[in-house]
Amino acid sequence: CSVQWKWLKIVRVMLCTSPVFTKQPGSIVFPVDSQEKNREVVFSCEAQGSPSPLYRWKLNGTAITPKSGSHYSLSGGNLRISHLDKDQDAGTYQCLAFNSFGTIVSREASLTFAYMENFKTHRRSSVSVREGQGVVLLCGPPSHSGDLTFSWIFNEYPSFVKQDTRRFISQETGNLYIAKVEPSDVGNYTCVVTNTVTKTRVQGPPTPLVLRSDGIMGEYEPKIEVQFPEIVHVAKGSTVKLECFALGNPVPSINWRRMDGIPFSRKVDVRKASGVLEIPYFQQEDAGTYECVAENSRGRNTVKGKLSFYAPPHLIEKPQDVQKPIDDSLVWECKATGKPKPSYRWMKNGENLESLEERIQVANGVLSISRLTLSDIGMYQCVAGNKHGEVYSNAELKVIAVAPDFSQNQLRSHTMVKEGGDVLMECRPKMSPWGGISWRKGSETLQEISILDNGNLRIQNATKPDAGLYTCVARNQFGVASSSGTLMVKEPTIITTPPSTLDVTVGESIVLPCQVTHDPSLELKFTWFFNEQLIHFGNHGGYFEKVGGQHSAGDIMIRNIQLRHAGKYTCAVQTKVDSISIAADLVVRGPPGPPTSIHVEEISDTTASLSWRPGPDNHSPVTTYTIQARTPFSLGWQAVTTVPEVVEGRSLTATVIDLSPWVEYEFRVLASNAIGTGEPSKPSKQARTKETCMYGIHRIPSILHAFTRLIVWHFIFKNREAITAAVSLGERKMPLRF
Ligand SMILES: *[C@@H]1O[C@H](CO)[C@@H](O)[C@H](O)[C@H]1NC(C)=O
Ligand SMILES: *[C@@H]1O[C@H](CO)[C@@H](O)[C@H](O)[C@H]1NC(C)=O
Ligand SMILES: *[C@@H]1O[C@H](CO)[C@@H](O)[C@H](O)[C@H]1NC(C)=O
């Protein structure tokens, strides 16, 4: 409602809220007692809201005015009524709370007066009965309001009549029943009535009971004198008491049962059930037909009555506060449970809502209002009720009417689009209801075709003449407003020199070009990707470098190209109006990779035939293979003689010759192409050449070989670590020495 600027420049917004009850009045029973001097009651009522709510009260639907001097006074929302008067003040009260948002009305609270007058009659004629007969002594309570309890004095106070199977006092009527009179019953009986609210107690005139001397009454069947109504409505959760008592000779026994055969629930104390059946905390399942059975040796009699369940309404769906633009429509739903089924009515600002106009409809708890106007603003209440009570819920309806306003949402002052591109110019004024939007370019009104439903303007396939000053004009019944912005059409960016697929050799350096033409007024940004990964210049071991010196060139250089630099290179160019990219593949040629799967196929005393598989050719075909061998005696790897002498790039087998018999050999293969010789393959498994079959000539060298080998093994075992180190440094560079 108000906005206050504090010195710290903190904006404090006092939230404005509609009234909501925090306390509602409850019903009051006022005991009328002549001794009480200060006869007054207070109905409480309290509501929250901002601005703070004010209050009014109604009695029986009519406003009451607490003027000075009247016996009403208001303090906050509470209503105090002094000098209470039974005739003037009894009735139904409701509190109304209101602020600038509207009025809400509280639930109904009744004021009743509890009182009891004295018995009018002073004398009662005597009742004479035969011994064995049943008798009813009437109490006939005086005029009163408030619940009563009854007891009877037998002869003199404080001798009260005790209830048993033979004697019963109805708490409904106050009457005393004696099923079968005995001589000891003769005496004076006085009904004592207590008002449970006022706590006053009055005594009736005594009724003398006398015995007739004309004989004794014989036996007869039970005659039910006290019975409960055919239908009793019992509120959920309340306690119900049913009375049943019969006269008869012999004294009848009283029993209870349910007609549907269901046994009594445990909460019903059946032992207590003589003349009264009490069901505490009544629930739906306790509803049904109950029967009282009075029985003696002469016969039996029954009465039946139905207990029906009822529940006051309970809201399960309530209307919620809403804010709607003018001319819009509103639907509010209200749902309540209850038995019988609740009916609904609606109130607006404390008054019953009559659907005088066709646009306001009320049906089955649903309120709908079409074409909202400012006069619909207010507090609405749904009241769900059945004959056992009413519940109220409230909700606020705000209807907003605002002339078009661009102050929060001006058009973008500059919008750019590339030639041939699409652009959306957004127009988002505040207005309620949403009226019409039109667009102008310069002074010319634009066709509606390009205006979208939400008021935005779409320009497709922009051309240079589309550039200019655009104005969005918003209009509703409360006014017109406009906002303008410039559209600039820019030349698109075009890549003139794209990178193309390149074929290079390891170790070379190349430039990948990326040159563009673009709108000179726009800034360019180049980014490069290698296999979709952003290239961070300066990283990657310094291989990549930006060399595009001029403004519209994004060229890069790759120095000392390695095999791993082969792949896809993408140049991406971005301006404020567009972004394009182009990719090229880089092929890197190098010496072949190592052959694989070296296998000794066959071995004799001086030859071994080998096979292998080709390794990668790195984009240049293998021209030749060379084979190397190693024995425990040789100084590292040494070239060997093969057949054929030159192993061509196409062949994958060769035979090594001139080997020594009975020696362990390992072989490896190296591939060469036009660029060079690649890494050697992994060594083959060790294979031993056969002994020579020509005894005498070749045997000696092989014995010598065996001897030398012994020395070598001895050396290896003594210097294992040194050898391992030496071997890992490279077989060729540091041969073993001994
Ligand atoms: C209010 O209405 C009740 C019930 O109709 C009635 O008994 C009572 O007298 C009325 N009170 C006043 C002040 O009119
Ligand atoms: C009953 O009351 C009458 C009159 O008060 C009195 O004469 C009579 O003795 C009383 N009877 C008994 C049994 O107390
Ligand atoms: C865009 O405009 C140009 C020039 O007016 C025209 O040749 C082209 O067909 C248009 N493209 C589209 C998709 O409308």
Q: How far apart are CA 529 and CA 509, in angstroms?
A: 18
Confidence of residue 402 (pLDDT cuts 50, 70, 90): confident
Is-contact 111 31, C-beta < 8 A? no
Output the residue whose Cα is nearest ligand 2's atom 12. 187
Mean pLDDT of 672-687: 93
Q: Decide: helix, strand or coil at residue 107.
A: coil
Mean pLDDT of 126-154: 94
Ligand nearest to the CA of 59: 1
Nearest of 628, 631, 627, 660 to residue 644 by alpha carbon: 627
Q: How far apart are CA 529 and CA 570, in angstroms?
A: 5
Q: Identify the pLDDT of residue 738.
A: 36
* 132 Cβ closer than 6 Å to some ligand 1 atom: no
Question: What is the token pair recorded at 49?
Answer: 């809201």
Residue 724 has pLDDT above 50, yes or no: no
Mutation probe of ligand 2 site: the residue of 188, 190, 203 with most atoms within 8 A of C-beta: 188
CATH of range 596-689; options 3.30.300.30, 3.30.470.20, 3.30.1330.10, 2.60.40.10 = 2.60.40.10
Mutation probe of ligand 1 site: the residue of 30, 57, 59, 60 with most atoms within 8 A of C-beta: 60
Higher per-residue pLDDT: 722 or 468: 468
Ligand nearest to the CA of 93: 1
* 112 Cβ closer than 6 Å to some ligand 1 atom: no
CATH topology of domain 219-309: Immunoglobulin-like (2.60.40)
**CA of 628 relative to ligand 1 center, distance in Å:** 124
Ligand nearest to the CA of 60: 1
- The listed range with the strongest mean pLDDT (31-40, 59-68, 203-212) is 203-212
Output the residue whose Cα is nearest ligand 1's atom 1. 91
CA distances from 252 to 294, 296, 507 (A): 6, 5, 124
Is-contact 45 77, C-beta < 8 A? yes
Q: Which amino acid is it at 78?
A: N
Nearest of 19, 201, 208 to residue 100 by alpha carbon: 19
* 187 Cβ closer than 6 Å to some ligand 2 atom: yes
Q: 117-216 architecture in CATH?
A: Sandwich (2.60)
CATH code of domain 311-400: 2.60.40.10
Phi, psi for residue 94 in degrees, rounded to 5: -140, 140
Is-contact 136 175, C-beta < 8 A? yes
Q: How far apart are CA 397 and CA 214, in angstroms?
A: 83
Atom of ligand 2 nearest to the CA of 206: 2
Ligand nearest to the CA of 184: 2
* 159 Cβ closer than 6 Å to some ligand 2 atom: no
Question: What is the token pair recorded at 599?
Answer: 């296998």
Confidence of residue 731 (pLDDT cuts 50, 70, 90): very low
Output the residue whose Cα is nearest ligand 1's atom 2. 91
Q: Identify the pLDDT of residue 703.
A: 54
Atom of ligand 3 nearest to the CA of 461: 1
**Tens digit of pLDDT for each residue in 570-596?**
999 999 999 999 999 999 999 999 999
**CA of 111 relative to ligand 1 center, distance in Å:** 10
Atom of ligand 3 nearest to the CA of 460: 14
Q: Identify the pLDDT of residue 704.
A: 58
Q: Tell me which residues have their CB closer than 6 angstroms to ligand 3.
A: 420, 461, 463
Atom of ligand 2 nearest to the CA of 188: 1
* 88 Cβ closer than 6 Å to some ligand 1 atom: yes
Question: What is the token pair recorded at 140?
Answer: 């006939």
* 86 Cβ closer than 6 Å to some ligand 1 atom: no
Residue 617 has pLDDT above 50, yes or no: yes
Q: Identify the pLDDT of residue 453.
A: 82
Residue 467 has pLDDT above 50, yes or no: yes
Is-contact 580 491, C-beta < 8 A? no
pTM over 0.75: no
* 60 Cβ closer than 6 Å to some ligand 1 atom: yes
User: ∠ at Cα 197 (244, 189), nearest 5°?
Assistant: 50
Residue 212 has pLDDT above 50, yes or no: yes
CATH 2.60.40.10 segments of the chain: 17-115, 117-216, 219-309, 311-400, 402-490, 494-589, 596-689
User: ∠ at Cα 621 (618, 627), nearest 5°?
Assistant: 95
Residue 708 has pLDDT above 80, yes or no: no
Q: How far apart are CA 577 and CA 24, in angstroms?
A: 65
Output the residue whose Cα is nearest ligand 3's atom 14. 461
- pLDDT exceeding 70 applies to what percent of the chain? 90
Residue 64 has pLDDT above 70, yes or no: yes
Nearest of 587, 600, 563, 595 to residue 677 by alpha carbon: 595
Residue 252 has pLDDT above 90, yes or no: yes
Higher per-residue pLDDT: 731 or 187: 187
**CA of 410 relative to ligand 1 center, distance in Å:** 63
Region class of 650: left (phi > 0), else alpha (psi between -120 and 50), else beta: alpha
CA distances from 200 to 103, 184, 190, 371 (A): 42, 31, 16, 61
Mean pLDDT of 632-658: 91
**CA of 29 relative to ligand 1 center, distance in Å:** 14
Q: Identify the pLDDT of residue 266.
A: 77
Nearest of 384, 271, 295 to residue 334 by alpha carbon: 384
Nearest of 227, 226, 128 to residue 176 by alpha carbon: 226
**CA of 90 relative to ligand 1 center, distance in Å:** 6
Q: State CA 686 to chain mean position distance.
A: 72
Output the residue whose Cα is nearest ligand 3's atom 13. 461
Q: Which pairs from 32-37 meet CB under 8 Å and 24+ separation?
A: 32/86, 32/113, 32/114, 32/115, 32/198, 33/198, 33/200
Ligand nearest to the CA of 461: 3
CATH topology of domain 402-490: Immunoglobulin-like (2.60.40)
CATH topology of domain 494-589: Immunoglobulin-like (2.60.40)
Q: Which H/E stretch holds residue 723?
A: helix 720-728
DSSP annotation of 724: H
Output the residue whose Cα is nearest ligand 1's atom 11. 91
Output the residue whose Cα is nearest ligand 3's atom 10. 461
**CA of 417 relative to ligand 3 center, distance in Å:** 15
Q: Decide: helix, strand or coil at residue 219.
A: coil
Q: Identify the pLDDT of residue 120.
A: 87
**Tens digit of pLDDT for each residue in 254-282?**
999 999 888 888 778 766 557 899 999 99
Q: Identify the pLDDT of residue 500.
A: 84
Q: Decide: helix, strand or coil at residue 652.
A: coil
Atom of ligand 3 nearest to the CA of 420: 1
Helices within 402-552 (DSSP H only): none
Residue 385 has pLDDT above 70, yes or no: yes
Q: Identify the pLDDT of residue 549.
A: 67
Nearest of 675, 669, 662, 673 to residue 709 by alpha carbon: 662
Mutation probe of ligand 3 site: the residue of 459, 461, 489 with most atoms within 8 A of C-beta: 461
- Residue 611: CA atoms inside 13 Å, Cβ hemisphere, count? 2
CATH code of domain 17-115: 2.60.40.10
Output the residue whose Cα is nearest ligand 1's atom 5. 91
- Residue 705: CA atoms inside 13 Å, Cβ hemisphere, count? 18
Q: How far apart are CA 223 and CA 245, in angstroms?
A: 8
Q: CB under 8 Å to 148, separation ≥6 — which residues? A: 116, 141, 174, 193, 194, 195, 196
**CA of 89 relative to ligand 1 center, distance in Å:** 8
**Radius of gyration for the alpha carbons in the chain, expressed in angstroms and rounded:** 56
Residue 728 has pLDDT above 70, yes or no: no
Confidence of residue 387 (pLDDT cuts 50, 70, 90): confident
Query: What does pLDDT average to over the chain?
Result: 87
Q: Per residue, what are the HEC states of 10-71?
A: CEEECCCEEEEEEECCCCEEEECCCCCCCCCEEECCEEEEECCCEEEEEECCEEECCCCCCC
**CA of 461 relative to ligand 3 center, distance in Å:** 6
Cis peptide leading into residue 340 (ω within 30°): yes
